Structures are given as structure tokens and as C-alpha cells.
Amino acid sequence: MEQQMKNLSLCENAGQADAKAPKLGFKPLAAKMPRNTTKGTKVQVETNIRKLTIAKNQPIYKYSVQVSYVYLNKDGAETTIEMSKSAKKGLQHEADKNRCQKMYQLAAQKNAALQSGGPYFYDRQASLYTLTQLKTQKICFTESQGISRRPNFVRAEFKLEKVDQSFQSTSNDIAKTVNSCPALADKTALEALNIIVSGPAFENQNVVTIGKCVHYLIDTTGVDIPSKEYAEGGLYSGIGASKSVKTLEGTDKKEPSLYMTTEMKTTLFHPDNWPLVGIFQTYKDFHFKLEANSFAGRRLEKAFVGLEVVLDYGQNKGLGEDGSIMKIRGFGPSAKTNHFQIDGVDTTVFAYFQKKYGITLKYPDLFTIEAKGKTGKIHLPAELLILCPSQVVTNDQMINNEQADMIRLSAAKPHLRKSITDTVARKVGLASNNIYGFIKVEDPVKVEGIVLNKPKIVFADNKVANLADLRARIPTDFAKAGKYAIAKELTNWELVFMQREDIKGLAENLMDEMRANGMRTSNPTVTYIVNGDLEAVFRKAKAANRQLIFFVIKSRYNLHQQIKALEQKYDVLTQEIRAETAEKVFRQPQTKLNIVNKTNMKLGGLNYQILSESFNKPGRLIVGFETSQRTGGNPDGSIVNLEPGTVIDHTIVSPVFNEFFLAGAVSRQGTTKTAKFTLVYQSNAGEPMWNLEQLTNDLCYDHQIVFHPVSLPVPLYIAGRYSQRGAMVLAANQGPKFTGGVVDLEKTNKEMGYGGKKLFETRFNA
């Protein structure tokens, strides 16, 4: 099967092996099929999607913008860097966009052609859109003062000129923005309209824009959501709104229509422009001799990896946003103990900065900051770094209860969320009924949805779960109806605690639950992590041929990544629960059941089976591929107040692709959101949409560990978890393997993958 999966591909003409595959996007997706109108119960659904009506026959003129900065290199020759086509990422990309915006504003102040006509909409990069044609076809502007504080800066150049006629557009070109072959869609009008709709937000002095489409309020007065601040790290919450303009099916059978989604965003931010050491001092257990590999050091590192800092020494001293930016990759040895070679001579970070820059470090015994240099990793003193502004706190950087707090903060009930979203969108500038007299924004649309039938959940001895239990707190929650469908045996396992932190009676409670569900089990061997030596536990467990190492560790130790990396290295299955969770086993039966559900799945068992018309077709292989973006991206719309299994496959979907929105699960708190699914390829043209929708919904019930549906079909959920595990193992091993300075994928997969290991035969990532 593994070899077959490697060779898996899509091909309509299997016999033509030598046929040249079309370029990506030039092959049409599956032909549009009729919507599902019969299978399920019809309901009315409110959305956050508004129809946009634009004036007919309105030209949209596009101009190319080029913003370049000219510097002197070490040889005294000029070198030019184009900011408007920046290939940088993260804050460095945002900084380049800000430089472009600064030059555009100066050009508008000093050039008469940009002071009349309009309105003008600049994307802060390489495109300017306007509803009236400029009187001149080309504008050139140069400025050398007040642009950059870099000592080698010479001048900035601004050039604007009309693009070729083929790139011009009108308000009548909406139908051209979609095509069954994605690469053939002409997105010019859509790109322009996205910028135009954001125009009021870009002009709003009370708004900070992150990426292309998320606009945050600086002053949140009048918004009925409490702010959140944290002493550790100086973190603070922000609220804003995102928007996306899409061409959707609509209700006009002759042509597609424009729609805009607006979605409330509650986000946690790092403080702006703080000295890095100053932020460190807000964390408990921090001191100026803290080591990187200490418990407090590892905890602090987790909160800062991925953040960007500006250098504040040497030629970068005092430059702020004009200085060099580095991304924190980790912590290293102290400046006094961190040795490296320079010109063949051994030195330390402390000695290097003293000799090179005349800086005697105040905190030479503090860990250093690891970053990527021109030729490899470098280590920098934390006291010479300043945190860049407008940085969002990622989930990986949350080391306290921030994630749960932010979920609660944004978890408004549907009617409240709608009201708050409208307020935020209005304050940001995304809710005008009439944008520049060109775009009319209508009220959110209501559409008809279908609530699909629930699948049949079967435990051992054909005992069926009740999915219509009126006693259930959530309608789609179901109770255990019998023993596991496939119960595994666990006779050689190990229960591991930190030294002197064991929990009496835990093993007995877990074994009782295992036996109650049909598993055969024996008493575990109880061992301890002594002096932080985690790897010793794995060496001994490997020698004892353990089936499972079951870790029970307090969350503050933050050993999850190390445990999973060592699991892969030693090929020994592991399960980890927090000690705080283990304490609940004695008073919360559901917690105990969830833990054992996971154990049985990890061992290769099956807790229950799913029976449905769509799920059990013979010869059907289900493969999960998950892709995601950690930041940015456009929202495709979320539908509120829905019963799980609600599907919408018309009006607010693509006019050329088979798409549907599905509310796979109920929201435990706040407003239900949906996922959008697109049918890319179909070998059986007769397969109806309802069958694909039902299959997708049924797969949401197959989590096996929690007895209720989840928001994504489980193959996608599992694929996402495996990609996270791969990233975790990669990080724990200091990145991929290299051969000749190039990433060696074969070697990396061989050493850090799971193929050929016993773990491959288990559900190790359950």
C-alpha cells in the first residue's frame, strides 16, 4: 500500500503514459453539477456575506508602480533594491510595503496629476487603481531627504506608468474573474475591487493593517468586547475585521455576482518596539544568568521563537524600522561561553562584540539569541535587540492560558457576534453602504441550507449509539453504547512521572476503564524522569520492548516536542497527558474515557464503526491532504447559528466549481463556523453532490477519541496533525539534513520519517 500511495496520481487517459501533463491550473476542475435539494431537511441560514452592486460600464484603470531604494555598497558603487516587488516575508515584507506607501504619499503631495481626478487606490506594492484616467501616462519622482536613516542611503525613486491594455478592466468584467480552468481566470477586476473596498480602512488613522485584508482598530471605544492584557510578555489583545471580495454564483442565473465577507478578528499582539531584555524581565523566574537549556529558559524560548527583532548596534544603532531585521530561531549558550571561529581564530560572542564594536556586554552570562546569518546560524546578545512592531502572538508562542482566553474572548453567541462584527466593520471602514459612489453594499444575504442525515455509530456486538439523545448537552454528542469495536491488548507498558510527582491510583483507574471497554491489560511498570534525563527513559523502554510509554507530566515542563522526537528516534509508541488532566480522572468519568479512547486508537484499535450509505461503498480509498496558512489569507465566509451537518451548495459558492460549505460540528461556545470544500476531480461523473456532501459529513464523526463530530473530515484532521508532528520532529532535530549545502530530502525522510518503523503500523499521532 505504501508503494502504491507513492505512485498515486490523477489521469483521465491512463493508457497515454507519455502524454505531457498540462501546466497547473490549465486543466478544468470537475464539471459543475446540480445542487442537493432533496437529501436532508431544509433550513434558512443567515450569513456574513453581502452582495456588492457596482456601477455598469465603469472603467478601472491600472497603473504599475515601481518604488526603489538606492544605497552605496562597500565599494562606493550604487546598488538598487526594488521595494515594490519585495520577495521578503513577515515583518520585513510589511516594512517594504510601508516604504512604498511613504513614497506614494510623497508623490501624491508633490505631483499635480495625482491631486485631481481619482479616487486612487494603491495596494502598497506594484499596482495603483483609479476610476478616472490620469492626465499623464508616466510619473517619475525622486526623494533623498526624510526617507531612510541608513547611513549608506542615497535616494528613493518612484515610477508610475499605465500598464498594457490587456491588463485594464471595467466593471463589466466580473464574469471573466472565474473560469473552470483556474489559471485562465482574469483576476484584474477582482484585485482592483479588493483594494477599492479596503480604501476607507487604509485611509483610517485609527486602523493598523496586517497583511492585505485584516484591519485592526487602535482605539476600540464603542466595541463591546473586553480587552485582555498579560503581565508576562506585555501581550495585549486587539480587535479588527477582515474582508474578502469574491465572485460567487449568486441568484442571477445569467451571470455571477460580487459578494463581500466581513469577519471579526480578535488577536493577541506582542508589544511594539520594546528592548528584548526588557520584555524578558516581565517573565517569572527570569534572571540575567539564565541558561538556554534550563526549564525557565526553554519556557521563555517557546514564547519568543519566530519573533522578529531589529539590530540596535553598529551601523544599525538607532535606525529602528530602517535597521536590519532578524528572526529568532532559538536560544544559545551565553555570550561568554558561546565560541565560534572568525578568520580561523577562536573567539566568543562577548569578545567579538567588545573588539568589533567596542561594546562591553552588560549581561554576558545570559543566553544568546540564535538567528540565521548569511552563511549559517549566528548568536546575538539579547540586550542589543529590539522587538519589531505589530507582531501577532502565534499559538506556539502561547505558554500560559492565552489561547483559551482568546477563544473565550471571540466566542460571542451568534446574535452578539453579528452585532459586534457590524460595529467593528463600520469603525474600520468596511461597512459603508456606498463606497466612493461606485459600489453599493447590500445587507447580509440569507440562503437555504440542508441539514444532512446523521450516520450510524456502531460499537461491539452491533450496539448502536443514540444520536438523538435528548439528555445530551450538545445534540450531536453520543454516549458509549458498548465495548470498543476492536479492542487492543496492552500488557507491556510503562507509566512515567517526573521524580517525586507520581499520582497514586492513576494506573488502577486507567486499567479499570480499559477493561470496561474490552481491552486486555496488565499492570504497568512505573518509572521516573530523573534529573531531567528524558532520553534515559526511552533507552530503557526500548531495551524492555515496551508497547507504550505513558507519560504523566505537568504542563510547565513543556516536554511534548522532545517526547515526540524521541518517540520517532527510538521507535517506541508514546502517550502523554498533563498531570493536571490526570488529576481529573478520579472525578470526571468522561476525561478518563477520552484518555483510554486515545490509548486504544494508538495501539491500532477501533473504538466504533460508522455505517452509512455514502461511507461504506466498496473500492473507495480515502486519502487526506491538509494545507494551511498560519497567518494571512482571505476568509471565504462563515455561516452562523447552524446545526451540525448543515450544508450550503448554492448562491454563495463558486459559479464554475462544485463547492459547498459544511458545518461539521457544533460550536462548544460562541458561533458555529463552516469549512468550504471544492470538488477538484471526479472519475465517476454520475456521482451526485448529495453523496459527496454526505460522505464529507459522515467523516466528521470518525474522530474516535471524542464522541461527537469535529469540524473537519477526520482524514484532513489527521493529515494536519501529521504535518504538525513532522514539523515538531524537524525542529527538535535542528532542521533537515544537508548534503553539499542543499537540503537532502531523502536523507531527512530516512532519519526523521516513520517509514520502516514499527510506529508506522500504529496510529501514533492519535
Query: Residue range 491-500: average pLDDT?
Result: 94
CA distance 77 to 79: 7
Residues 460 and 603 in one domain: yes
Number of domain units in the chain: 4
Asked whether residue 537 is assigned to any structural domain, the reply reads yes
pLDDT at residue 108 greater than cutoff 80? yes
**pLDDT of amino acid 621:** 63
Question: Which percentage of the chain shows pLDDT scores above 90?
Answer: 46
Return the H-helix or E-strand segment holding 525.
Answer: strand 525-529
| Apex 36 CA angle, 31 and 41, nearest 5 | 165
**pLDDT of amino acid 567:** 93
Which of 388, 412, 435 is the C-terminal boundary of a domain?
388
Lowest mean pLDDT among 13-17, 113-117, 146-150, 439-443: 13-17
Residues 576 and 631 in one domain: no
Give pLDDT tens digits for 335-393: 999 999 888 899 999 999 999 999 999 999 999 999 988 878 899 999 999 999 989 99
**pLDDT of amino acid 589:** 92
Give the cell for residue 313.
548596534
Which of 118, 150, 170 is the C-terminal boundary of a domain?
170
pLDDT at residue 703 greater than cutoff 60? yes
Sign for the CA dihedral angle at 525, 527, 600, 503 comes to positive
Lowest mean pLDDT among 143-152, 305-314, 525-534, 714-723: 714-723
CA distance 237 to 228: 5
Give pLDDT tens digits for 588-632: 999 999 999 999 999 999 999 998 877 767 666 666 565 544 333
CATH of the domain at 468: 3.40.50.2300
**pLDDT of amino acid 24:** 77
Residues 663 and 556 in one domain: no
Residues 507 and 627 in one domain: no
Give pLDDT tens digits for 565-595: 999 999 999 999 999 999 999 999 999 999 9
Asked whether residue 9 is assigned to any structural domain, the reply reads no
Residues 74 and 96 in one domain: yes
Residues 620 and 732 in one domain: yes
Chain-centroid distance, C-alpha 288: 34
**pLDDT of amino acid 429:** 83
Residues 523 and 555 in one domain: yes
Of 50, 52, 48, 47, the closest CA to residue 447 belongs to 47
Asked whether residue 144 is assigned to any structural domain, the reply reads yes
Question: DSSP E strands: which ranges in 296-344?
Answer: 308-311, 325-327, 330-334, 339-342
CA distance 380 to 420: 44
CA distance 245 to 280: 41
CA distance 346 to 606: 58
**pLDDT of amino acid 411:** 66
Asked whether residue 710 is assigned to any structural domain, the reply reads yes
CA distance 512 to 521: 9
Lowest mean pLDDT among 243-257, 397-411, 577-591: 397-411
Determine the structural domain holding residue 338 and report its residue range.
Answer: 276-388
Residue 120 DSSP SS3: strand
**Mean pLDDT across the chain, nearest whole number?**
86
What is the length of the chain?
A: 766
Query: Residue range 432-458: average pLDDT?
Result: 87
Residues 584 and 621 in one domain: no
Asked whether residue 646 is assigned to any structural domain, the reply reads yes
Are 423 and 682 in contact by the 8 Å Cβ rule? The answer is no
CATH of the domain at 364: 2.170.260.10
Asked whether residue 451 is assigned to any structural domain, the reply reads no
Residues 655 and 685 in one domain: yes
Give 45 or 641, the one with higher predicted confidence: 45
Question: DSSP E strands: which ranges in 349-433?
Answer: 367-372, 377-381, 385-387
CA distance 631 to 96: 18
Residues 482 and 521 in one domain: yes
pLDDT level of residue 463 (50, 70, 90 thresholds) = very high
Query: Residue range 20-28: average pLDDT?
Result: 72
What's the pTM?
0.79
**pLDDT of amino acid 417:** 74
**pLDDT of amino acid 635:** 41
**pLDDT of amino acid 416:** 72
Residues 584 and 636 in one domain: no
CA distance 668 to 685: 38
pLDDT at residue 638 greater than cutoff 60? no
Highest mean pLDDT among 292-306, 433-447, 509-523 belongs to: 509-523
Asked whether residue 317 is assigned to any structural domain, the reply reads yes
Residues 717 and 694 in one domain: yes
Are 647 and 680 in contact by the 8 Å Cβ rule? The answer is no
pLDDT at residue 12 greater than cutoff 60? no
Asked whether residue 448 is assigned to any structural domain, the reply reads no
CATH of the domain at 739: 3.30.420.10
**pLDDT of amino acid 722:** 85
